[in-house]
């Protein structure tokens, strides 16, 4: 943040390159900027450094650049800043006397002044000069600059505390530029596409707020809704909730309790509300929101304590990235669940068949455990670390009451993919049995070579179809060819581990001994392969139907606020 323009003695000035004679004439202005602050001052390598509010740092640095010999006046008292006063006054020992320096919003400082500094002399503050100051303030605010008024009083009577801030001399205006980060406009565009409404709530002048909002792309219409703190006081709760339906709304010159009132109104409208802030006055709103986000660099300790999380880089775009990551985690858990539930169906149905019909048990308990704890583990973990899909931030927020395990997920896993896998596993199981002459109702011993081969065929079919299934579960709507076969290294490793397990369990003595398996012939493998292709084709067809008949993902402009 830097001081961009000054308004001194009825004229605009640049803080850089100012003539020394002009700087000398307005020395009281620079003295106010130098002394009226709550910064912590230290010295590094002989040069002063300041820690605290960036606005005050910019004012002090501007003052030192114009008057490096400005003395550090002893400070003995202050009238602190608050959101109702919107100004700070500090009292100092100056040249054997006591002086008051004041800075704050023009509408709270100018009414306290009865004179104005012009060319090094004080003059009576007449209506014409007052109007010129107001016009200059509006012009700079429309440029998106944060404008502060500076005033002083050379001699004060400390015994009359109620009159300390009366009869001040208006010294001038300082307009500060706080350039937005370059990534903010894109982050706001992403929010709009994701159905997230961003609302500006600021203590700045309305014209400043509108100009900044246009600069970052928050406001695109010609006439956005702007509500000031005074107007907000006159609004009932119902009218405030109606006003919040406007997709482009700005609150300016608001105080701490009004910020919290806005949050409560949004919560009454059943929105999920996140609030960002850095100051003490933001603490009530941070506490009231569903999630309060304090600034880690510029944030006060009070704001950080009231917040649920601290943004270490003070970057709005990081919040949007966090929302995308949160959505991705939720989607990945669903992918993981789908993948696991599918093979659970394929494991369950053989047991139901064994209980209800006179057929051998197609999958032994140790073989089912080998799938759960062995072959599927690494591939399932790969689904848990999937990258966010391109369409993830073009969907509206999910309903608040939506569960992780919903009916769509259950139907796809249990009634579609699971049944396909179970049917394939039993088909291969009976293919082996009937190929060896087995008849319905015939019992087989656990060590019968035919039984070992048939259960091995069932186990191998489930593992093979789970290899297909892991790629299908990477998206509920996108084609497996669009997601990419090799873009997730952990899934690739998981597939390789499943292939390795197939070979070990089918063709090694210790695999036979551990899982009760037997080697399979080429005819069995050839019989399995069409089921892999069938599962792929059926799921791709289902995804095509979803893409073809579903509504566009782009949300309405008045999405859920965050």
3-state secondary structure at position 38: coil
CA–CA separation, 546 and 359 (whole Å): 38
Structure token digits, residue 98: 């006591």
CA–CA separation, 457 and 84 (whole Å): 78
Nearest 5°: the CA angle 301, 307, 310 is 75
The terminus-to-terminus CA distance of the chain in angstroms comes to 26
pLDDT of res. 561? 46
CA distances, 383 to each of 135, 148, 159, 472, 539 (Å): 60, 54, 72, 11, 18
CA–CA separation, 332 and 382 (whole Å): 9
CA–CA separation, 542 and 536 (whole Å): 10
CA–CA separation, 248 and 437 (whole Å): 75
Structure token digits, residue 94: 């100056």
Helices (H), 244-311: 256-268, 283-288, 301-306
Among 200, 259, 250, which Cα is nearest to 227's? 250
pLDDT of res. 551? 57
Which long-range CB contacts under 8 A does 153-162 form with residues at least 24 apart? 153/99, 153/100, 153/102, 154/94, 154/97, 154/99, 155/97, 155/98, 155/99, 156/91, 156/98, 156/99, 156/100, 158/77, 158/91, 158/98
Residues in the chain: 562
**CB-based contacts of 160: which residues, under 8 Å, 6+ apart?**
none
Q: What is the pLDDT along the chain (562 residues), one digit of tens a residue?
A: 899 999 999 999 988 877 788 888 999 999 999 999 988 888 777 677 888 788 899 999 999 888 667 888 899 999 998 878 889 999 999 877 899 999 999 999 999 999 999 988 999 999 999 999 999 999 999 999 999 999 999 999 888 888 899 999 999 999 999 888 899 999 999 999 999 999 999 988 999 999 999 999 999 888 899 999 999 999 999 999 999 999 899 999 998 889 999 999 999 999 999 999 988 889 999 999 999 999 988 788 899 999 999 999 989 999 999 999 999 999 999 999 999 999 999 999 999 999 999 999 999 999 999 998 888 889 999 999 998 887 889 888 988 888 889 999 999 999 999 999 999 999 999 999 999 999 998 889 999 999 999 999 999 999 999 999 999 999 999 999 888 888 899 999 999 999 999 999 999 999 999 999 999 999 999 999 999 999 999 999 999 999 888 755 444 444 444 4
CA–CA separation, 294 and 308 (whole Å): 8
Backbone angles phi, psi at 43, to 5 degrees: -125, 130
3-state secondary structure at position 177: strand
3-state secondary structure at position 55: helix
CA distances, 431 to each of 349, 418, 447, 449, 458 (Å): 17, 20, 19, 15, 10
DSSP for 321-365 reads HHHHHHHHHHHHHHHHHHHHHHHHHHHHHHHHHHHHSS---SS-H
CA distances, 268 to each of 24, 42, 198, 265, 556 (Å): 56, 47, 17, 5, 20
Domains and CATH numbers, the chain: 2-177 (3.40.1110.10), 184-318 (3.40.50.1000), 322-549 (1.20.1110.10)
Strand 97-104 to 87-94 pairing: antiparallel
CA–CA separation, 368 and 347 (whole Å): 6
């Amino acid at each position: 943040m830097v001081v961009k323009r000054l308004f001194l003695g009825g004229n605009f000035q640049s803080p850089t390159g100012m003539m020394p004679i002009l700087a000398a004439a307005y020395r009281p202005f620079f003295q106010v900027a130098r002394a009226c602050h709550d910064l912590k001052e230290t010295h590094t390598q002989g040069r002063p450094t300041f820690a605290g509010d960036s606005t005050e740092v910019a004012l002090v640095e501007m003052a030192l650049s114009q008057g490096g010999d400005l003395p550090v006046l002893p400070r003995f008292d202050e009238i602190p800043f608050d959101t109702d006063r919107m100004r700070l006054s500090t009292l100092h020992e100056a040249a054997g006397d006591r002086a008051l320096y004041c800075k704050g919003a023009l509408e709270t400082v100018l009414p306290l002044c009865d004179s104005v500094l012009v060319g090094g002399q004080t003059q009576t503050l007449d209506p014409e000069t007052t109007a010129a100051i107001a016009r200059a303030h509006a012009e700079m605010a429309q440029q998106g600059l944060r404008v502060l008024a500076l005033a002083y009083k050379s001699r004060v009577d400390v015994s009359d505390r109620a009159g300390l801030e009366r009869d001040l001399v208006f010294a001038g205006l300082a307009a500060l530029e706080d350039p937005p980060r370059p990534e903010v406009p894109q982050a706001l565009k992403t929010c709009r596409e994701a159905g997230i409404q961003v609302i500006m709530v600021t203590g700045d002048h309305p014209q400043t707020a509108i100009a900044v909002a246009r600069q970052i792309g928050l406001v695109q219409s010609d006439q956005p809704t702007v509500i000031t703190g005074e107007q907000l006081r006159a609004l009932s709760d119902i009218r405030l909730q109606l006003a919040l339906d406007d997709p482009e709304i700005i609150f300016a010159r608001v105080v701490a309790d009004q910020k919290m009132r806005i949050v409560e109104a949004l919560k009454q409208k059943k929105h999920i509300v996140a609030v960002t802030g850095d100051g003490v006055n933001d603490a009530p709103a941070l506490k009231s929101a569903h999630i309060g986000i304090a600034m880690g660099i510029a944030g006060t300790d009070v704001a950080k304590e009231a917040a649920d999380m601290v943004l270490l880089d003070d970057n709005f775009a990081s919040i949007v990235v966090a929302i995308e990551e949160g959505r991705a985690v939720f989607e990945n858990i669903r992918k993981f669940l789908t993948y696991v539930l599918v093979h659970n169906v394929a494991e369950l149905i053989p047991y139901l068949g064994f209980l209800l019909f006179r057929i051998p048990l197609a999958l032994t308990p140790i073989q089912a455990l080998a799938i759960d704890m062995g072959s599927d583990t690494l591939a399932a973990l790969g689904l848990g670390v999937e990258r966010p899909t391109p369409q993830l931030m073009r969907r509206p927020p999910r309903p608040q009451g939506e569960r992780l395990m919903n009916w769509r997920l259950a139907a796809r896993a249990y009634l579609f993919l699971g049944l396909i896998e179970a049917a394939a596993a039993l088909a291969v199981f009976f293919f082996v049995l009937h190929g060896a002459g087995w008849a319905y109702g015939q019992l087989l011993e656990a060590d019968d070579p035919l039984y070992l081969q048939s259960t091995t065929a069932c186990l191998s079919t489930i593992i093979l179809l789970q290899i297909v299934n892991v790629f299908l579960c990477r998206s509920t709507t996108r084609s497996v060819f669009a997601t990419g076969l090799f873009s997730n290294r952990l899934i690739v490793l998981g597939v390789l581990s499943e292939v390795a397990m197939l070979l070990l369990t089918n063709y090694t003595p210790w695999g036979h001994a551990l899982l009760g398996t037997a080697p399979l012939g080429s005819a069995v493998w050839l019989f399995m392969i069409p089921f892999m292709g069938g599962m792929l084709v059926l799921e791709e067809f289902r995804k095509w139907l979803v893409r073809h008949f579903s509504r566009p993902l782009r949300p309405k402009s008045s999405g859920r606020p965050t």
